[in-house]
Structure 1
């Protein structure tokens, strides 16, 4: 398997796709989390889900302990795929990873994504240490229960938890130690997607993403907690697909700053 094949999963090959969407997982997450999104978008878009080391079919590989190191590694393998229209989608920690990969592409003079969808994550200048990575196993499991997004069967099976806990703790360390200055910006529009009832990310912390772009963007508000993607999957796909179609057709107009929020699903 090539280095590029290690990093990207294409679950539903698209016939004549209009654009490519790279999806970056949350802390402890894996590429397969985006299987439903890939299926829903495959008629029009080529979805490539990023597979971080240390989980699923990459379980035997060393974990990457920082967002910057993870972005460095992805940057080295993603450039051959940056042909034609491309967008990034990242959820929670994945939004920070996507942002950092975009920064590296831009700094190196490589093609950059046309859009970045930042979902369920604090803006880079608003990330702070919640101390989750320093908790014992019971504390990490309690966090998993509180945040949702984990199959209840995993929480009940010691053997499965043994596989899940190391990458989860590692990723919490990565995102909780991540820091970026307030003036770190990319020239890519940022579409902010977040839940108004997210216990970890406030709407204000999510809105602050627009301080990290010189190209504006919009805000899409949902309900459903941190993993609103699961209960609001159809609407999430509608927002992503609709925004990409507008961009491809030249109809895309950033609403923020100086715009208003879009309350997508009250």
Structure 2
């Protein structure tokens, strides 16, 4: 059976040469594909990059947001199947790390597709999660948390009209974050590589080290300077680290 390609789900950056592999980037809560635009051609001429586009923002603004991890992971996995004809690596930041983990489990258990690696950033392991019910609070509490973590332009949050447009996606994503986990430490069949900023206000090195429990095929932790969005100022070093692992040099 031929599986159709659902082009809504991914911003696709084609390789300039015949692609040997693919990398899928999964953004954080409240984030969008545009945050990772500069990653699109960062992994070499032979690597095609997909950046996930969640419903309810940017090109998918008219679509209803998804507010449960299981529903989001189910749809992500199905949309990803046509792209599994090449070796596939997953990278997720914050909420995207949990989504990457759930997607990896679904690919392997439901479709016999094992990703090459799972890269997780700034997010506790699934069995160590301590969800906070921020989604049950008012808009100002959500905005305050987004500001605390960083990663979103404050000018967007300061503009009442723009903030009104952003809030449904932010609330849906924080509903996912607030209702997901803790779950069992179900292992993935691929190596797991974890990254964290050394000044993250919510997550510790030990929190990230617990990802080893779901990565019996291999695990490594990298600590970089910065907070929850260390990957902004440490972009080049993070991409270098991921690229070396894609190439199998570390």
TM norm structure 2:
0.93
Distance 1:18 1:207 in 2: 30
Q: Which moved more, 1:127-136 or 1:85-94?
A: 127-136
Task: For residue 152 of structure 1, report the CA deviation from its aligned partner.
Answer: 2.1
C-alpha distance after superposition, 1:99-143 (max 9, x if no partner): 111101111242221000001111111122223212211111111
Alignment equivalent of 1:83, drawn from 82, 85, 88: 85
Alignment equivalent of 1:35, drawn from 27, 34, 37: 37
Distance 1:129 1:146 in 2: 17
Distance 1:5 1:73 in 2: 13
Task: For residue 203 of structure 1, report the CA deviation from its aligned partner.
Answer: 1.3
Alpha-carbon contact 2:15-2:45 (below 8 Å) kept: no
Alpha-carbon contact 1:79-1:110 (below 8 Å) kept: no
Alpha-carbon contact 1:182-1:211 (below 8 Å) kept: no
Residue of structure 2 equivalent to 1:23: 25
Distance 2:124 2:63 in 1: 28
Distance 2:185 2:141 in 1: 34
Alignment equivalent of 1:171, drawn from 170, 173, 181: 173
C-alpha distance after superposition, 1:13-37 (max 9, x if no partner): 4422331000111101111111111
Residue 79 to residue 110, structure 1, CA distance change in 2 (3 Å): farther
Distance 2:94 2:48 in 1: 22
Question: 1:9 is paired with a residue of what secondary structure?
Answer: strand
Distance 2:158 2:75 in 1: 34
Q: Which moved more, 1:17-26 or 1:37-46?
A: 37-46
* Structure 1 vs Structure 2 CA RMSD: 1.6
Residue of structure 2 equivalent to 1:200: 202
Distance 2:140 2:149 in 1: 14
Residues 147-162 of structure 1 aligned to structure 2 (within 5 Å): 147-162=149-164
Distance 1:178 1:151 in 2: 26
TM norm structure 1:
0.88
Structure 1's unaligned 5+ residue stretches are 253-266
Residues 87-106 of structure 1 aligned to structure 2 (within 5 Å): 87-106=89-108
Alpha-carbon contact 1:192-1:219 (below 8 Å) kept: yes
Q: Which moved more, 1:232-241 or 1:39-48?
A: 39-48
Distance 1:181 1:162 in 2: 33
Residue of structure 1 equivalent to 2:133: 131
